[in-house]
Amino acid sequence: MKLPIYLDYAATTPVDTRVAEKMMQFLTMDGEFGNPASRSHRFGWQAEEAVEIARSQIAELINADPREIVFTSGATESNNLAIKGAADFYHKKGKHLITVKTEHKATLDTMRQLEREGYEVTYMEPQTDGLVTVAMLEAAIRPDTSVISVMFVNNEIGVVQDIAAIGEMCRSKGIIFHVDAAQAAGKVEIDLQTLKVDLMSFSAHKAYGPKGIGALFVRRKPRIRLEAQMHGGGHERGMRSGTLPTHQIVGMGEAFRIAKLEMQAEISRITVLRDRLLNGVKDLEQVFLNGNREQRVPHITNISFNYVEGESLIMALKDIAVSSGSACTSASLEPSYVLRALGMSDELAHSSIRFSIGRFTTEEQVDHTIKIVHQAIDKLRAMSPLWDMFKDGVDLNTVAWVAH
Amino acid sequence: MAYSNKVIDHYENPRNVGSFDKDDASVATGMVGAPACGDVMKLQIKVSPDGIIEDAKFKTYGCGSAIASSSLVTEWVKGKSLDEAQQIKNTDIAQELALPPVKIHCSILAEDAIKAAIADYKQKHGG
């Protein structure tokens, strides 16, 4: 077995070989390198045709109209364009927006920027299982609420929000509903003919496509308007100027085509692997699965190993590429804001690891991971004063810590 | 983040992990840090009647640098008098382990742990 083992598919996925091969046909002199906006020769026409095929492939995965797809540089840009673009365009309706504390930074920091520009934002605390209910959101709505943004699948804990129900509520109240679906495409069924979502963000590199390309779904019926955030040649019907990167777009199209084709089989296979992983660690004491147990994708599993610090655990899992709920590796000593928003204690949040499984994960890799996790937990708990105290029946909340 | 070879060595082969009987009169314990901050260090020293640290053990909950810092100080304090051990500076620890700026707090914690253990010894022995 080749080491290290990649279990960080939620951070990014490798490009599927089929996608890479397709992309290479759109780069060189021998390929279709033209500018899709060139109207005067066949180089341009061919590139444009390739872009339009990709646009249809993306629309097909999510049951949308190809004309509702706007290409961007990725989900971060899509979130920026959707939230700022809608807030700006509809500012006369009101200057209040609602989102959730567990959203991706691309949403939260966009909201922060709008606050600096005079908007007001409500950041909802989710339930301890990571979900927000329609009733919770409804209670936060004001007469001047213009946009609500809720992510489909959480990138750290994998819980799936009830987008259908939230969409119904938003539509009935005339509020623009934006959904960050970066982690959802190819992992859950997305049917935009039935979901009452106005704007939805996508990324290619979370679904075996290339980095640097994403899309924003902008609904046509009822029509949603956006204030452009990037100005220039008026590409993408004026919503996002900039020469379309044909090879990237073709890559995203191919990735989404494959996703539509193989999604069901892949979900079943990954569920089996996820269950294998969970079964493999369930005999360890003080191990907790974070987030709602049912409403979740099988790809992302976030586990707290109590009394073991996340960064040292990652170090012990050195041949396994996972990520820590704890942001200890950055200058900040703060544990994951997502886990904190679920009401988890700091120490449990510090002890969390995200395992994300994907297309190329094997049973053998999962078994090896289970073995290494056991070794690491045994070693680190033998070294942990907190584990000793727990074993001695000391309630850590009653200890007077010498904080630093 | 890339760790220095010394951090990795101490992390993979930590010296002097364990505990002494805290009721033993020659043993003193320093526990510093907090779970909420992501590190807790417990450093124990065993002191001879003439005030020399004969042995030291640690247990640490924390990142690799915190574990390495505590492992290193258990080596350093052995054979030192309490006064000598009191002189160990976090900067020495940080330098020895080549800790990056974001991990300096780990060395500070290790220095605090020594000081806390010495204070505990002095308190136990009325001094």
Q: Is A78 left (phi over 0), alpha (psi -120 to 50) or beta?
A: alpha
- Domains of chain A, each with CATH number or no CATH: 5-10+264-385 (3.90.1150.10), 17-259 (3.40.640.10)
Mean pLDDT, range A29-44, rounded to an integer? 97
The pLDDT score that the predictor gives to residue A325 is: 57
CB neighbours (10 Å) of residue A84? 21
> CB–CB of B60 and A396 under 8 A?
no
Mean pLDDT, range A7-32, rounded to an integer? 97
The pLDDT score that the predictor gives to residue B35 is: 87
The pLDDT score that the predictor gives to residue A329 is: 44
Neighboring chain B residues of A384 at a CB cutoff of 8 Å: 59-61
Q: What is the pTM of this model?
A: 0.93
The pLDDT score that the predictor gives to residue A340 is: 93
Give the ipTM of the model, two decimals please.
0.93
Cα(B90)–Cα(B104) distance, integer angstroms: 8
> CB–CB of A385 and B11 under 8 A?
no
Name the residue of chain B whose CA is nearest to A383's CA. Answer: B59
Q: Are β-strands A352-356 and A96-100 bridged in parallel, bridged antiparallel, or unpaired?
A: unpaired
3-class SS at A320? strand
Contacts of residue B71, defined as CB under 8 A and 6 or more positions apart, other chains included, come to B10, B11, B14, B15, B16, B17, B58
Choose among A333, A384, A385: nearest Cβ to B31: A385
Tell me how long chain B is: 127
For residue A89, report the phi and psi dihedrals to the nearest 5 degrees: -65, -40
Beta bridge partners of B27: B46
Choose among B14, B19, B38: nearest Cβ to A350: B38
Residue B36 has pLDDT above 90, yes or no: no
Choose among A311, A346, A385: nearest Cβ to B64: A311
Residue A330's pLDDT band (cuts 50, 70, 90): very low
The pLDDT score that the predictor gives to residue A346 is: 83
Encoded tokens for A379: 């070693």
Mean pLDDT, range A308-333, rounded to an integer? 76
> CB–CB of B109 and A328 under 8 A?
no
Cα(A46)–Cα(A285) distance, integer angstroms: 60
Neighboring chain B residues of A333 at a CB cutoff of 8 Å: 37-38, 105
Cα(A255)–Cα(A211) distance, integer angstroms: 12
Is B106 a residue of the active site? yes
pLDDT in tens, B44-78: 999 999 999 999 999 999 999 999 999 999 999 99
Question: To the nearest whole angstrom, how far is the Cα of B73 from the nearest Cα of chain A?
Answer: 15
pLDDT in tens, B3-33: 899 999 999 999 999 999 988 999 999 999 9
Is A311 at the interface with chain B, CB within 8 A? Answer: yes
**Domain locations in chain B as residue ranges:** 5-124
Is A402 at the interface with chain B, CB within 8 A? Answer: yes
Catalytic residue, from B12, B18, B25, B37: name it: B37
Is A315 at the interface with chain B, CB within 8 A? Answer: yes
Q: Are β-strands A300-305 and A5-6 bridged in parallel, bridged antiparallel, or unpaired?
A: unpaired
* Mean residue pLDDT across chain A: 95
**Does domain B5-124 sit in CATH 3.90.1010.10?**
yes
Contacts of residue A30, defined as CB under 8 A and 6 or more positions apart, other chains included, come to none
The pLDDT score that the predictor gives to residue A42 is: 97
Total CB pairs under 8 A between chain A and B: 93
H helices within A25-148, ranges in order? Answer: 42-61, 75-89, 105-116, 134-140
A244: nearest Cα among A81, A56, A44, A68 = A44
pLDDT in tens, A264-291: 999 999 999 999 999 999 999 999 999 9
The pLDDT score that the predictor gives to residue A403 is: 64
Contacts of residue A13, defined as CB under 8 A and 6 or more positions apart, other chains included, come to A205, A206, A207, A208, A358, A359
Is A286 at the interface with chain B, CB within 8 A? Answer: no
For residue A4, give Cα distances in angstroms to A8, A37, A314: 11, 43, 12
The pLDDT score that the predictor gives to residue B1 is: 59
Contacts of residue A341, defined as CB under 8 A and 6 or more positions apart, other chains included, come to A100, A101, A102, A125, A126
The pLDDT score that the predictor gives to residue A347 is: 82
Is B37 a residue of the active site? yes
pLDDT in tens, A344-396: 988 888 889 999 999 999 999 999 999 999 999 999 999 999 999 999 998 88
Look up residue A8 and give its DSSP letter. B
Residue A326 has pLDDT above 80, yes or no: no
pLDDT in tens, A80-113: 999 999 999 999 999 999 999 999 999 999 999 9
> CB–CB of A401 and B40 under 8 A?
yes
Cα(A26)–Cα(A6) distance, integer angstroms: 29
> CB–CB of A346 and B3 under 8 A?
no
Question: To the nearest whole angstrom, how far is the Cα of B64 from the nearest Cα of chain A?
Answer: 5
The pLDDT score that the predictor gives to residue A333 is: 59
Residue A72 has pLDDT above 90, yes or no: yes
